[in-house]
Each structure stands twice: as structure tokens, then as C-alpha cells.
Amino acid sequence: MHKDMEGRVILITGAGNGIGREAARQMAARGALVGVNDLKEEFVEAAVREITDQGGKAFGVVQNISTREGIQAAVRQAAQVGGRFDALVNNAAWVRYQAVPDIQPETVDRMLDVGFKAVIWGIQAAAEAMDPERGGAIVNVASTAALRSTLNSVVYSGIKAGILGITRAAAAELGARRIRVNAVCPSAVPTEGTQRNRNAERDALRAARTPLGRLGNVQDIARGICFLVSDDAGFITAQSLVVDGGVTFTNI
Ligand SMILES: NC(=O)c1ccc[n+]([C@@H]2O[C@H](COP(=O)([O-])OP(=O)(O)OC[C@H]3O[C@@H](n4cnc5c(N)ncnc54)[C@H](O)[C@@H]3O)[C@@H](O)[C@H]2O)c1
């Protein structure tokens, strides 16, 4: 594989599983030194081991990023270990789908802390850690739910739509410092995080409604994240890349 990310130091939040873990694996395969963040030590250890077993470079950042101090500490640790700081992927989320009458304050607070406020504090910490001359890249993981909503997703859709606004506003402000800020909007792909909401029947229906004829997977989404972090996207900022096999904007 072409090592176009050699020398880059990249932190990915919630990278102990799912999309974040695969993005970490792909970036390490392209030569990056990847800080693998998660709150669970065993997830971090397994993800780092997978990368190093494949010849990549990674280190663990065990940290709960749901507070400003938490994400600041994660960015600081990555910058210290790597000696520089080039990119942040705001990927972690804690998600519950609830019908309007069932929405509880504790659920909303936790979803906001991990999935929304951490994006703001992450951008703040990353911008401070990045070299003012060299700049860097920030990718926020949103969702197709930001663009087209489904049942029981008032909180989730709201947060993910908000992330697109944050992305554009941060891109406007940080462009002068050569920091690009983009978002990825994945469709539903099988991960630990989505297991509770999936079944074979629903997956088959989704695949049939998708122009490309299948569900996505973590590899598909991670490739989109890697593209936006990479220099291939050097003149791309304030964008939302929809990685969904075409399902969001079609009706078949
Ligand atoms: N999987 C999908 O179908 C899908 C679709 C659209 C968007 N997304 C988005 O992609 C991102 C990743 O989703 P996934 O399905 O891979 O998730 P996942 O649940 O499989 O993995 C998320 C990881 O984040 C970690 N995490 C949770 N709270 C944390 C915290 N406070 N601090 C540090 N780490 C924390 C978890 O321990 C877990 O390992 C999320 O933002 C999600 O909303 C996922």
C-alpha cells in the first residue's frame, strides 16, 4: 500500500470498535501513526495489537472523551506521543433510538456529551495542537440521519444534523490556519453499536433499496474518512461526504 500518510499523527475517538477501528487500521496501513482512543482499555489494546500485528504504528489513548477535559487530554497525549498533531477524527458516539414520548433527559445528555459537545471540544483542542503553518484535517462522523430521518431518531438526527453545521462553521473559521474540516455521512453498516437495531429482514430490505445493491460495511465508510484526512482532499473543506451506496438520495 502507498504510504502517503507516513509521518502523520492522527487521533481517532471511539476507535476501539466499528468504523473508528477500521479507519485506524487503514490509516496505519498508509503509514500514519494512529492514536486509538476509546473508553474501554480492552478495546484499545485489541485495536492497537491488530494494527501493530499488521506492521502499522499505533498507540492507545484510553480516555472518556465525553468531557472537555477528557478530549483535551486525549489530544494532548496524542501530540506528546507523536511529537506533532495532524488530524482528528471525531467518531465516538453513544446512541439510543427512542420514540418521542420515551425520550429521557439522561439519554439526551449522554448522547450530546459524547456525540456533539465532544466534537466542539475536539475541534478546539485539535486546532490548538496543530502546527499553525502546516495545518491539519478534522473529520466529523455524522450520519445519513442528518439528511433523511427515520423513526425514533429525534435526538440522533438532531445531533448528526448539528454536526454538519459545526463542520461548515469550523471550516469557515479554521481555513485561514490551513485546517480542513469535513464530515462523513455513513448509511447503516453492521458494527457493535448498531447490532441492537438490526435484523436480517431489515438488512435485506435496506440492501434492496440501495442502488448499489448491498449494505455498506466499515471498510466502505473508513475509506471515505481516510480520503478526507488525506492530502488527496487537500482542497476540500466544509463538505459532507455521503457514503451510502446511493440510498439516501434515491427512491427505488
Ligand atoms: N454503524 C453505523 O451504521 C453508523 C451509521 C451512521 C453513522 N455512524 C456513526 O459512526 C460512528 C461510529 O459508529 P460505530 O457503529 O462504529 O460505533 P461502535 O459503537 O461500534 O463503536 C464506537 C466506539 O466508541 C466508544 N465510545 C463510546 N463512548 C465513548 C467515550 N465517551 N469516549 C471514548 N470512546 C467512546 C465505544 O466504546 C465504542 O468502542 C458514530 O459516530 C456513529 O453515530 C454509524
Atom of ligand 1 nearest to the CA of 92: 24
The reported pLDDT for the residue numbered 109 is 98
Confidence band for 119, pLDDT divided at 50, 70 and 90: very high
Let me know if residue 47 belongs to a domain: yes
Q: What is the pTM of this model?
A: 0.98
Let me know if residue 144 belongs to a domain: yes
- What domain range includes position 117? 9-242
55-105: per-residue pLDDT in tens?
999 999 999 999 999 999 999 999 999 999 999 999 999 999 999 999 999
Count the domains in the chain. Answer: 1
Let me know if residue 251 belongs to a domain: no
Any atom of ligand 1 within 6 Å of the Cβ of 156? no
Distances (CA, A) of 23 to 15, 56, 201: 8, 13, 28
Let me know if residue 212 belongs to a domain: yes
Any atom of ligand 1 within 6 Å of the Cβ of 5? no
185-223: per-residue pLDDT in tens?
999 999 988 887 788 999 999 999 999 999 999 999 999
Let me know if residue 191 belongs to a domain: yes
15-30: per-residue pLDDT in tens?
999 999 999 999 999 9
Give the 3-state secondary structure percentages of the chain, helix then strand then coil, rounded to 5.
50, 15, 35
Let me know if residue 252 belongs to a domain: no
What cell was used for 152?
Answer: 425514533
| Residue bearing cell 434492496 | 208
The reported pLDDT for the residue numbered 193 is 82
Let me know if residue 1 belongs to a domain: no
User: Residue 56: which CATH number?
Assistant: 3.40.50.720
- Alpha-carbon distance of 108 to 14, in angstroms, equals 19
Any atom of ligand 1 within 6 Å of the Cβ of 193? yes
Closest residue by Cα to residue 63 from 13, 28, 19: 13
Residue 94 CA, ligand 1 centroid: distance in Å:
6
Let me know if residue 248 belongs to a domain: no
